[in-house]
Amino acid sequence: MNEKLQYRLSKNQNDEIAQNLIDILQKGSEIAKQTRVFIINWCRTDTSEKRKAFFDVWEIVLKNYLPSTRPILFRACERIGKNAKIASFTGRLECARRFSKGKGSLIVCDTKEILLFEEKYYKQGEYKHTFYPLVNVLEKAKASGGCGFTERFLDEFMGEDEYIMRIDLGNMHCFKWIKNDL
């Protein structure tokens, strides 16, 4: 029997979870149970096991959510993958270094630059360069008594300072890690 996670969602579930994720940060909405399950599965699932259900939800969110903050985001990876792929980034360079183990590549995105014209030239539902601050949802949950997440889960994943974003190599900078023996 295949022990890999077979996470599936209907189109209606995709839409509901995506809208709840947006509403949590824009309207202060409660975290719905199916959204909590989605977040836990996203965080606990290895990159190689992430399937269409996850990306369908994030696609809806990224097209419809315009963040109010503009941090510099980092992504560590063994090799630079496909452009337009939805991936996890971190707001902490130290996290990216730890994930990479000093090998592979580092993608850096200055969201202040990349989102400069997003609001001006695109409408909600058409955004192309946005990101979603998942860490803010976890912080909100912790401040509200957990919202169904365990304290251990929140402590573990808040430290990763995770953001969901589409890789856009035309608007990001790529670097190679080098070994520093100083």
Per-residue pLDDT tens over the stretch 42-98: 999 988 888 899 999 999 999 999 999 999 999 999 887 778 899 999 999 999 999
Residue 31 neighbours by CB under 8 Å, 6+ apart: 20, 24, 39, 137, 140, 141, 147, 148
Asked whether the beta carbons of 22 and 134 are under 8 A apart, the reply is no
Residue whose tokens read 């909590």 = 36
pLDDT (tens digit per residue) in 21-34: 999 999 999 999 99
**How many CA within 13 A on the CB side of residue 172?**
24
Cα–Cα distance, 40 to 162 (Å, whole number): 13
Whether residue 4 is predicted with pLDDT greater than 70 in this model: the reply is no
Q: Which residues of 129-153 are buried (b: 16+ CB within 10 A; e: fewer)?
A: bbbbbbbbbbebbbeeeebebeeeb
Averaged pLDDT for residues 146-160: 94
Domain segments of the chain as ranges: 11-176
Whether residue 127 is predicted with pLDDT greater than 50 in this model: the reply is yes
